[in-house]
Structure 1
Amino acid sequence: MVGGAEPQFAGYNRAMQARRSIGSLAKPATYLTALSQPNQYRLNTWIADAPISIRLSNGQTWSPQNDDRRYSDSGKVMLVDALTRSMNVPTVNLGMALGLPAVVDTWTKLGAPKNQLNAVPSMLLGALNLTPIEVAQAFQTIASGGNRAPLSALRSVIAEDGTVLYQSYPQAERAVPAQAAYMTLWTMQQVVQRGTGRQLGAKYPGLHLAGKTGTTNNNVDTWFAGIDGGQVTITWVGRDNNQPTKLYGASGAMSIYQRYLANLTPTPLVLTPPEDVVDMGVDGSGNFVCSGGMRSLPVWTTTPDALCRQGEQIQQQQLQQQQANNPFNQSGQQPQQQQNQQQQPPKQEKSDGVAGWIKDMFGSN
């Protein structure tokens, strides 16, 4: 545990005492809440990604935006991609659909203090103040398959004669479904592989690290949660006077985590799916397919065969709908035939008499 730039200083321990806005580190809790409802939300569920305005209790309007001020061309994005890319608007849409009390309940299960949890829309994007050790507790629960074990800096107290005066035996308890925790952690691996933490993934491709970046407004705080096969590590970079750092989660806190790994021998993060979680293929529209697919996603289900058959039926219906909406499909040859007929020269009527016969033979011109 390092509490500041001067670790030998015995005063203010930021790791234990500094409450800071956590920014996008708040997002996994919202997706964990959704994935805990497998009949309603899966990693291939589509979420709205379009401009949104929310009327607050004080009468003001809150209009969150994605960091790049852009939206998906289709106006929607798959749940897995929204978290991988740390998108703001889909996260808010998802959280509001779930209900803020449900997200607050998840945070409570992850170990966050109740007095820091206010059910307001902005909490979905990190408007809650936690200490680094409290953030570590939340991500420890996710990394441990949904089992929360109270964190403690004190393992034992031993007397001079070797007598053990105190021994810490943290008892883990089930906090959230193992299946939902697994899929959340799997998606955090995608963050490092191809999302906002891909720079880290490129440096350590064989570790299969999971992670999440976090940056607050005006770059006041930058965070990173890094998970390998044996440790959960939280790094925070900021100023005590709340002035901007001119850094982002990926360039500030994540770079410190990267240097931290360079001095260790990290354990690869190898995930073992819990009961009732299977890998299933999906097509470009997010439909489950029984074989192949554009990519594979973990799914919490006891009926994978039924799901893939249903997905292929939807796929076929979508194809038929596209064909029905295509004006050149069923009657597509008719306009071409009409065009060809219009391009043919008009047939001349046969003239009467010798003069007409000569015209018919040599033309009228």
Structure 2
Amino acid sequence: MTLAIIAGLGFATYSYFSLEKEMTQKLESKRFIVPTEYYAGPRVFSARNSGSPDGIESLFTKQNFRRRDYDQRLLQGDYFIADREQCSARLQLPLDENQIGCFAWVNKDISTAKVDSSMQILVFQNDSTISKIYIGAPFQEVASVFGEAPLLAQYIGNEPLMQKTVTLGEVPPTCSNAIMAIEDAQFLEHGGISFKGILRALVRNITTGRKEGGSTITQQLVKNYFLTSERTLKRKYQEFIMSILLESRFNKDEILETYLNVIYMGQNGSFQVRGYGSAARYYFNKEVSDLDLSECSLLAAIVNSPGLYNPFKKPANAERRRHLVLDKMKGLNFISDSQMTEADNKPLPRAPVTLATETAPYYLDAVRKQMEALKVPVEGLRIYTALDLESQQAAQESLSNHLNNLEKTNKHIKGLKEKGNNLEGIVLVGDNRTGLVTVVVGGRNYRMTQFNRAIDGHRQVGSTMKPFVYLTALMNETSEGKPYTPMTLLNDEKQSIKFEGQNWAPENYGKKYYGMVPMFYALKNSMNAATANLGMNVGIGNIVDVAHKFGVESELKPFPSLTLGAFEMYPREVLQSYMTIANLGLRKDISFVRKALNAEGAEVFTFNPNDRQVEDPAIVASLISMMKQVIISGSARAIPLNGFTNPAAGKTGTTNDNKDAWFSGFTPYLTTIVWVGYDNNLQHKLTGSSGGVPVWTDFMKRIGSRFPADDFTLPEDAVKVVLDEETLKALNALQAPFDPTSVELVFKKGTEP
């Protein structure tokens, strides 16, 4: 017995000191949970972009900016809206009659010393566009400015969460009283364990038959921060010892502050909501310091069971639990009868309009993979991404709506859905000017499947490859020694191509052939026979070289079928190579990350797009003019018919077996890639026109219309030529009712007709 007692005391002593060491190190560091912080890209405001004061104000109020009068000094997180006269007075600049007013702000991450010189001002035209942009004072005109980069998410490893650490001084006493009233009324009196609470819970469990816990706030903190929720004697023993230790080493304020920062407060999509700071933002779109009695009592109600008392999903439960919290507070004389009645009668908050919660984790997955490739550990970093939340949301909705519609109205796809097959898709968007990727939708819903098709999907690209065949031709000469141009005639007749002892006979879609047609006509109508013949003439190896030069990294085997895209690529390679086309042969390496800072604020990564001109701009401009015809009157002509009329170019992509449907298109500002298909390679029988084009069109109508309707730049060594009806007839380029009677094309100088 003596030995048993000695052994028990020895074990208890060892447990005490080992647990004390672990707990002290964790708490004294004041780093309750050490997440990697991810920031979305700031909203970019450029001259001539669409915008209005009211619309932009809504963006800033969502980020808790404070409105001030136009003649007041702006501090961090302040903004004002002014009419023409007020704006002119503030800027000391005359505004013309078409300029209706201005919007000014100072971002929150500006140092106090730079507040005045960092004010940013947008001046608006009466046509709802931004006419001038200034930064100062003294005010200087600039081409673009940036909004605040919003905190998007925090991760512990691969576990997504939302957490904003707050001090106890920021938490209203009403919130502290509310949580103590409902969870631990003797918090300020006990030493970590409340024997009264345990006894009371035991009695109620016996008399009512309902389970009631007797854990103190200190015990809940230990369980949430140090231990797990498993119900074992060992865990309960550790909780008991560590709660006493916690109270002996730290004061009540430190314990309560830690508790309010780590307690689980619910789920926002894939993200855990941790602590009162993030809960205040999620449930009320407020800072915790601005919460009133009704809101504090609701948070205290949620703590017990965030799923059961979620005000958005189970309002009756939430109201009943909030009433109980208020009643407990009144019973402890924390509030009066009138305060309770007023708080009890306040409506519950409405569910927030959250952006891209279903798909934003795909973007963050792409970020982590980029940092891993760079060999930069992400733990504890602040990573500033290029994610445009509004664009991500629009892409998510455009894709989801189209796929849902196909599963309801397309007989074949509906049948596959009924057998448990879910149609999937991706959207990737890049900013041509910066090389930054602003949207990554890797599937319909990250919680359903974490496979990131936009980054890791390796699919056949079909006719997406054809522009590189035509670009290679434009860089070379025909067998007669003449340069290829958009007007060069190609033979679109079915024929057998011999290669390494085998015959290959590519067929056109619908098995219709058009005879001798000009290059631009063959490309816009995605003619397989003409393209394959052209590819054999210019050399498969040359096509491979051009594709690699523009950004394709996957292995391309020099087979004739490569001309029609009978090989796999990653969507990000399609994005990279098409952005190089959009930039007239200027290749910019793409990136999901703008910069990353360590805990000391030092930059550990800064994106440098590494610009290099990989092809003659005049030749690429000629290709773009041909790809514009795809949208004007070719396989993607539904785009302008459905409302997106800004100058754009692109190419549909349909694999021979109808398992992959693509549309890859670009304006001078954005390149957007869409893919639709099944993960298990089922045949969906869609084309690029029916699978990809509707998603691209809907997205670009919502986001692409932000930008001016500018045409692509014409290089110095290029010339525009308009082909009239007579010329088009002679070229056999008026074979369909929708073929236009005049076509504008670009030629390298010296090759024009």
Aligned counterparts, 1:37-48, within 5 A? 37=476, 39-48=482-491
Shift of 1:144: 0.5
Alignment partners' CA distance in 1, 2:670 and 2:644: 17
Q: How many angstroms does 1:159 deviate by?
A: 3.4
The one of 100, 107, 121 aligned to 2:547: 107
Q: Take 1:208 and 1:218, find their aligned partners in 2: how far apart are those partners?
A: 32
What is the DSSP-based 3-state SS (H/G/I as helix, E as strand, rest coil) of the residue aligned with 1:155?
strand
Deviations 1:106-131 (A, max 9, x none): 11111112x52100000000112101
CA apart distance, 1:69 = 1.1
Contact 1:22 1:214 in 2 (8 A): yes
User: What is the deviation of 1:52?
Assistant: 1.1
Pairwise CA distance, 1:30: 0.4
- What residue is the counterpart of 2:613 in the other structure? 174
**Equivalent residue for 1:285, pick from 717, 723, 730:** 730
Change (3 A) 1:256 1:205: closer
- In structure 2, what is the equivalent of residue 311 of structure 1? none
- In the comparison of the two structures, how many residue pairs are matched? 296
Q: Which deviations, in whole Å up to 9, do the C-alpha atoms of 1:257-300 show, x marking residues without a partner?
A: 1232243253335112112211234423359xxxxx96443211
The match for 2:495 is 52
- Equivalent residues of 2:647, 2:667 under 8 A apart: yes
| Residues 111 and 137 in structure 1, CA contact (< 8 A), matched pair in contact too | yes
Aligned in 2, Cα 1:55/1:281: closer, same or farther, shift over 3 Å?
same
Sequence identity percentage: 34
Shift of 1:303: 7.3
Mean alpha-carbon deviation: is it higher for 96-105 or for 272-281?
272-281
Q: Which residue of 2 aligns with 1:240?
A: 679
User: In structure 2, what is the equivalent of residue 299 of structure 1?
Assistant: 747
Any residues of structure 2 matched to 1:310-325 within 5 Å, and which? none
Q: CA deviation at 1:205?
A: 5.0
Aligned counterpart, 1:66: 508
Alignment check: 8 A CA contact 2:667 2:712 kept: no
Q: Secondary structure at the match of 1:232?
A: strand
Name the residue aligned to 2:586: 147
- 2:559 corresponds to which residue? 120
Deviation readout 1:6-43 (Å, 9 max, x if unpaired): 13568321111111000000100000111123752001
User: Are 1:270 and 2:718 counterparts?
Assistant: no
Question: How far apart, CA to CA, are the structure 2 residues paired with 1:54 and 1:151?
Answer: 37
* Alignment match, 1:200: 639
The letter of the residue matching 1:81 is Y
RMSD between aligned residues: 2.1
User: Does the CA-based 8 Å contact 2:508-2:528 persist in structure 1?
Assistant: yes
1:181-215 residue CA offsets vs partner (Å, 9 max, x unmatched): 11111211111110000001212353122121111
Aligned mates of 1:238, 1:228 — CA distance in 2:
25
Change in Cα spacing, 1:117 to 1:269, as seen in structure 2 (3 Å) is farther
Please say if residues 110 and 141 of structure 1, whose CA atoms lie closer than 8 Å, have aligned partners that are also in contact.
yes
Match of 2:520 in 1: 80
Distance of 1:265 and 1:296 partners within structure 2: 23
Question: What residue is the counterpart of 1:91 in the other structure?
Answer: 531
Where 2:674 maps in the other structure, the secondary structure is strand
Q: Is the 8 A contact 1:137 1:151 kept in 2?
A: yes
Q: 1:9 to 1:174 in 2, by over 3 A?
A: farther
- Structure 2 CA distance for partners of 1:8 and 1:186, relative to 1, 3 Å: farther
Give CA deviations for 1:48-88 in whole Å, capped at 9, x if unaligned.
1112101232x33211111121222xx21100100011110
Quote how far apart the aligned CAs of 1:226 are: 1.8
Shift of 1:171: 1.1
Note closer, same or farther for the CA distance 1:229–1:303 as it changes in structure 2 (3 Å cut).
closer
Partner of 1:360: none
The residue that corresponds to 1:354 in the other structure is none
Bigger RCO (CA 8 Å, 6+ sep): 1
Task: Please say if residues 209 and 269 of structure 1, whose CA atoms lie closer than 8 Å, have aligned partners that are also in contact.
Answer: no
**Where do 4+ consecutive residues of structure 1 move more than 6 Å?**
none
* Contact 1:84/1:190, CA 8 A, preserved across alignment: yes
Q: Which runs of 5+ in 1 are unaligned?
A: 288-292, 309-365
Q: 1:296 to 1:215 in 2, by over 3 A?
A: closer
Quick check: 1:201–1:209 contact (8 Å CA) kept in 2? Answer: no
User: Structure 1's 253 and 206: CA in aligned 2 closer, same or farther, altered over 3 A?
Assistant: closer
Q: AA paired with 1:230?
A: Y
The superposition leaves residues 314-362 of structure 1 with CA deviations (integer Å, 9 ceiling, x where unpaired) of xxxxxxxxxxxxxxxxxxxxxxxxxxxxxxxxxxxxxxxxxxxxxxxxx
Say which SS state the counterpart of residue 218 (structure 1) adopts: coil
Q: Separation in 1 of the partners of 2:463 and 2:744?
A: 26
TM-score normalised per structure 1: 0.76
The 1:303/1:264 distance shift into structure 2, 3 A limit, reads closer
Partner SS state of residue 64, structure 1: coil
Structure 1 pair 202–237 and aligned structure 2 pair: CA distance change class (3 A): same
Deviation at 1:246, TM superposition (A): 2.6
Where do 1:306-345 residues align within 5 Å?
Answer: 308=753
Q: Hey, what's the Cα distance between the residues in 1 that align with 2:618 and 2:751?
A: 15
* CA deviation after TM superposition for structure 1 residue 161, in Å: 5.3
Contact 1:45–1:286, Cα closer than 8 Å, also in 2: no
1:153-199 CA-to-partner distances (Å, cap 9, x unmatched) read: 12210235543332111111111221121111121111111000000
SS of 1:278's equivalent in the other structure is: strand
C-alpha distance in structure 2 between counterparts of 1:28 and 1:218, whole Å: 20
Distance in 1 between residues matched to 2:581 and 2:505, nearest whole Å: 30
Deviation at 1:229, TM superposition (A): 3.0
Give distance in 2, aligned partners of 1:286 and 1:194: 16
User: Which structure 2 segments of 5+ residues have no match?
Assistant: 1-439, 733-740
Larger radius of gyration: 2
In structure 2, do the counterparts of structure 1 residues 260 and 294 end up closer, same or farther at CA, with 3 Å as the change threshold? Answer: closer
Q: Distance in 1 between matches of 2:643 and 2:619?
A: 26
